[in-house]
Chains A and B, each alone.
Chain A
Amino acid sequence: MTTLWPRLEPLLARVQKPARYIGCEDGAYVAPWSSSRVAWLLAYPDAYEVGLPNQGLQILYEILNDSPDALAERTYAPWPDMEALMRERRIPLFSVDNHRAAGEFDVLAFNLSAELVYTNVLNCIDLAGAPVRAEARDESHPLIAAGGHCTFNPEPLADYVDFFVIGDGEEAVSEANAVIRDWKASGRNPGTRPGVLRELSHVPGVYVPSMYEAAYDGPRLVGVTPRYSDVPEVVEKRTVADLAQWDYPRRQLVPLTEVVHDRLNVEIFRGCTRGCRFCQAGMITRPVRERPAEQVRRMVSEGLARTGYDEVALTSLSSADYSGIDSVVEGIIDDPACSGQVSVSLPSLRVDAFTVGIASQIQKVRRTGLTFAPEGGTWRIRQVINKLIREEDLYGAVESAFSQGWSRVKLYFLTGLPTETDEDTLGIGELARNCVAVGRQHGRASVTASVGGFVPKPQTPFQWFGQDTVGELRRKVDLLRDSTRKDKGVTLRWHDPRASLAEGLASRGDRRVGRVIEHVWRAGGIFQEWTEYFNLSLWEEAMAAEGLSFDWYVHRDRDPDEVLAWDHISAGLHRDFLWGDWQDALAAAGVPDCRWTPCYDCGACTGYGLEHVVASAVAPAGGSQGTNQDLSSGHIVPVRLVGRRAPAPAAVV
């Protein structure tokens, strides 16, 4: 093993943000290199400042390094300026921990959190010195692995990745490691690569695409079926039953340079049963598993003491839903060890939960304003997507915020949703206008409505839905822009509809889309999730070159009996549940949160013998926690805003 540092260092004065490449984070392992351990290079295929905070990668980093049979280092996609210098000087992809060449590792494992990074995955494999196509790699090359939410449709990368881990990785990573350890111990002899992959396909939750054959009838996918009888027909996701047994990360990495989410992050629960139909994360991470409050408190206090951070985020898909969130937040703020200087942030705060729950004055809030996500402009469309936030809830939350001195509020919306009419689109402007009016009673008020084009995701009720075209999304944005042009105080922002098209292709594509991704990468299309680098014409050229059609993959409503590219990957959700929920969506019928209402057998609990792990037996108070429930409220909105330094929180109505 040799370090590349002496060759890298002379490049650092010539690149932007050189601290991206130095490592040295507090919490980094400097694992002794040992031939008896399987060496994993964990890669986040985006810029360092985006990838470093990723909790999934950090959890696996610790689990592997704590294991006697493994060691792990990290890498991130080098920014194009650095990549150019590396290629010019023939420097391969390297780890930031010890600056070891990627090719010296046994496994190069990617976290896939967004589809538009796929071209960066190929670029990283190439920079590592390995052929990008799996079939061209041999025993001298690392095994290429991937995990993360995008792997619930692994097919677009099936020809490039050797094995995928579907679902929670905490347990599966060690099981995969044991298989690779034996292969490594046997000398990684020529001709043994298919054998170790076959072994890996026996690990529950591991999908080895080369063990499956994809068959087509014209454009239509006929099926993805195992080549061998010992390979599972359907790969079921892994789910850790009890988060309390996995109090990771224990040594969260503290970077030396600025990154996103630069704070202590403590995951308070996994899974979400609110049932928002557009939300892939909520569908694929069921059931709800709360971390015990006592463990949350310990992880927070130990984490703050160790890292020196003055902000902690209690993370989950809907943090205000955590049982007893109030007392946990108050406990942190009132902890004398925090000396009144620690702020708590609750990402993914729902409007209705905000109005009944607790909102702490967080640094992020003070700097950028509060963000709420009503997602849809009218009650009708919010029933379609099952985001059951009433207008009154939104105004109540906004009222609380403005009365407390905020002057800016940001609202997130989706457009291009199923059954969406222009009335729904214009409703976005209406909501924003009304929020400004609420705020004006308290002085200056501005509202930013941020509108994203909806991309249907696999393993959700909307997986059958034909995504809006770029033209249609543009028309809707224009409509909205015209209608809000004269509104002082309303600022409209929108996501590039062209990027939504490429994302839609990569989200629901089959194996054939892999060649498109490769084509885009070969044409220089990297960092496609960055506005300054995204280039739709590369994707259009690639589609034409591969003879594929956006209409077929993206814009077409899919048939009920159609084979979907991800049908052999299971998030535990029954197909008839998803189809039924899709039909409910089309009928604009919402469904309640199943934590406190009868189970409608989505499959996530029953199929895996799991249950929701929720401390509270009753639903939190509040008007619209689920539909078909008591939607009346209309009285006081008991929001409490807890000041950073105020020992006694001020009650506000």
Chain B
Amino acid sequence: MKVRFRFTKQGKVRWTSHRDVARMWERALRRAVIPVAYSEGFSPRPKISFGLALPTGAESVAEYLDVELAVGPEEAGGPAGLAGALSPMLPEGMDVTAVAPTGPGEPSLQHDVVACRWEIGIPSDVGIDQPEGLEEAVAEVLAAEEIVVTRERKGQPVTDDIRPSILALSALSGPERSVVTLTGPGRVLGVELATVGRGLRPAELLTHLGVDPAGVRTVRTHQWIERDGARREPIPAGATDAPPVERQAS
């Protein structure tokens, strides 16, 4: 029986890699004594599959993974029980926020997710410093019919049009900002980027905007899948949300 988890990656732990996160989950599942199904063969591995890799250094409130259990989800403690058992076993800043059983025919996260929403906090001293500067750059991108850039894919320079991958882009102010925090003055971009085809990474968009990607604070706020022509998150609204965790990420 497969169970899907939504979890966060915030604070210091964001400097770990995708592979590091995979190892943290394997250890957490063993520590919490969750009966995970293992692959057969000479070198059995726990049946865990992750979604799209989050770049090292980016934060997220919308990470997902699928775990195949050796027992039914209720036997494993039910969604609330699983979340409650796992969050304390994960590092500070990584907390389970939702758990839901996944149907047997569900495609993998890697194949299912079509787009991600990001919030990108740009401190004043990084790249674009004037408020109009950011608004102008955003307007320019949105007005463009095509944006041809050369970037690296699998070690090879690739030239193509990134405009179709930019699904939404706006400079956020005040209440629209939901997640990202800036310690000093700065601006926040809200952006939705396609992940299918070659996709577009936040850092690549920033480079095009003339912003140093190393100077920003990036948070993935949503991942989107498509069902029957409509978009929704990989754990549908109304599925069991995990109990709030008291720890505070740094």
| Residues of chain A having any CB pair with chain B under 8 Å | 6, 10, 12-14, 18-19, 21-24, 26, 254, 256-258, 305-310, 341, 363, 366, 644-645
CA distance A26 to B29 in the complex (A): 15
Q: How far is the CB of B121 from the nearest CB of chain A, in Å? A: 13
Query: Is B30 a contact of A256 with CB atoms below 8 Å?
Result: no
A305 to B28, CA, bound (A): 10
Q: Are B30 and A310 in contact (CB under 8 A)?
A: yes
Contacts of B56 in A (CB 8 A): 18-19
Cα(A278)–Cα(B31), bound, Å: 42
Are B89 and A13 interface neighbours, CB within 8 A?
Answer: no
Minimum Cβ distance to chain B for residue A329 (Å): 19
A24: chain B residues within 8 A (beta carbon): 12-13, 91-93
15 pairs across A/B with beta carbons < 8 Å?
A: A6-B183, A12-B57, A14-B214, A18-B15, A19-B17, A19-B20, A19-B56, A22-B13, A26-B91, A256-B13, A308-B26, A308-B28, A309-B27, A341-B30, A363-B43
Contacts of A307 in B (CB 8 A): 27, 31
Q: How far is the CA of A252 from the CA of B34 in the complex (A)?
A: 22
CB within 8 A of A13: which of B28, B30, B215? B215
Q: Is residue B155 within 8 Å, beta carbon to beta carbon, of the partner chain? A: no
Q: A19-B20, A22-B12, A341-B38 are in contact. Are A308 and B215 (CB under 8 A)?
A: no
**Is the Cβ of A258 less than 8 Å from the Cβ of B89?**
no
Contact count A vs B, C-beta below 8 Å: 64
Which residues from A are CB-within-8-Å of B215? 10, 13
B154 within 8 A of A: no
| 8 further A-B pairs in the complex, CB-CB below 8 A; given A13-B57, A256-B16, A309-B27 | A13-B214, A18-B57, A19-B15, A24-B12, A308-B26, A309-B30, A341-B44, A363-B43
A6 CB, min distance to chain B CBs, angstroms: 7
Interface string of B35-77 (1 = CB under 8 A from A): 0001000111000000000001100000000000000000000
Residues from chain A with a CB closer than 8 A to the CB of B19 are 258
A508 to chain B, nearest CB (A): 41
Q: Are A308 and B89 in contact (CB under 8 A)?
A: yes
* Number of residues from B at the complex interface, CB < 8 A: 29
User: B5-33 toward A: CB 8 Å interface, digit per residue (1/0)?
Assistant: 00000001101110110011011111100
B81 sits at the interface (CB 8 A)? no
Residues of B within 8 A of A26 (CB): 91
Residues of B within 8 A of A644 (CB): 44
| CB-defined contacts of B92 to chain A, threshold 8 Å | 24
Contact at A366–B12, with CB atoms within 8 Å? no
Whether the Cβ atoms of A256 and B24 lie closer than 8 Å is yes
Residue of B with least CB distance to A11: B214
Residues of A within 8 A of B38 (CB): 341
| Cβ of B186 under 8 Å from chain A | no
- Chain B's closest residue to A342 (CB) is B30
B78 within 8 A of A: no
Q: Which residues of A contact B29 (CB under 8 A)?
A: 308
- Which residues of B are found within 8 Å of A10, using beta-carbon distances? 215
Residues of B within 8 A of A21 (CB): 15
Interface residues of B (CB under 8 A from A): 12-13, 15-17, 19-20, 23-24, 26-31, 38, 42-44, 56-57, 89, 91-93, 183, 213-215
A610 to chain B minimum Cβ distance, whole angstroms, is 39
Chain A residues with Cβ below 8 Å from B42 are 366
B213 and chain A: residue at smallest CB distance: A13
With a CB–CB cut-off of 8 A, which chain A residues contact B44?
341, 644-645
Q: With a CB–CB cut-off of 8 A, which chain B residues contact A6? A: 183
The smallest beta-carbon distance between A362 and chain B, in angstroms, is 11
User: How far apart sit A13 and B215, CA to CA, in the bound complex (Å)?
Assistant: 8
A27 to chain B, nearest CB (A): 11
Shortest CB distance B216–A (Å): 8
Contact A19 B16 (CB under 8 A): yes
B31, A308: Cβ atoms under 8 Å?
yes
Which residue of A has the minimal Cβ distance to B203? Answer: A13
Which residue of B is nearest A6, CB measured? B183
Identify which of B31, B43, B91 contacts A306 (C-beta below 8 A): B31
Instruction: Report the minimal beta-carbon distance from B12 to chain A, rounded to whole angstroms.
Output: 4
Bound-state CA distance A396–B90 (Å) is: 45
Contacts of B20 in A (CB 8 A): 19, 256-258
Q: How far, in angstroms, from A6 to B56 measured CA to CA in the complex? A: 18
Most buried by B among A18, A307, A363, A644: A18
Q: How far is the CB of A489 from chain B (nearest CB, A)?
A: 23
> Which of A13, A254, A363 is close to B27, meaning CB atoms less than 8 Å apart?
A254
Bound together, the chains give a CA A6 to CA B215 distance in angstroms of 13
A366 to B38, CA, bound (A): 18
- Alpha-carbon gap, A618 to B42, bound state (A): 37
User: Max chain A CB contacts within 10 Å: which of B15, B16, B44, B56?
Assistant: B15
A-side contacts of B15, CB under 8 Å: 12, 18-19, 21-22
Within 8 Å CB of B16, what residues of A? 19, 22, 256-257
Bound-state CA distance A256–B92 (Å) is: 11
Which chain A residue lies CB-closest to B29? A308
* Cβ-defined partner of A308 (8 Å) among B13, B17, B30, B43: B30
How many Å lie between the Cα of A645 and that of B43 in the bound state?
A: 9
> Whole-angstrom distance from the CB of A336 to the nearest CB of chain B?
12
CA distance A465 to B75 in the complex (A): 67
- Residues in A with CB closer than 8 Å to B91 are 24, 26, 256
A21–B15 CA distance with the chains assembled, in angstroms? 9
In the complex, A9→B153 CA distance in Å? 28
Q: A308-B28, A366-B42 are in contact. Are A257 and B17 (CB under 8 A)?
A: yes
The list of the 8 closest CB pairs from A to B, nearest first, reads A308-B27, A13-B214, A308-B31, A18-B15, A308-B30, A22-B12, A19-B16, A257-B20
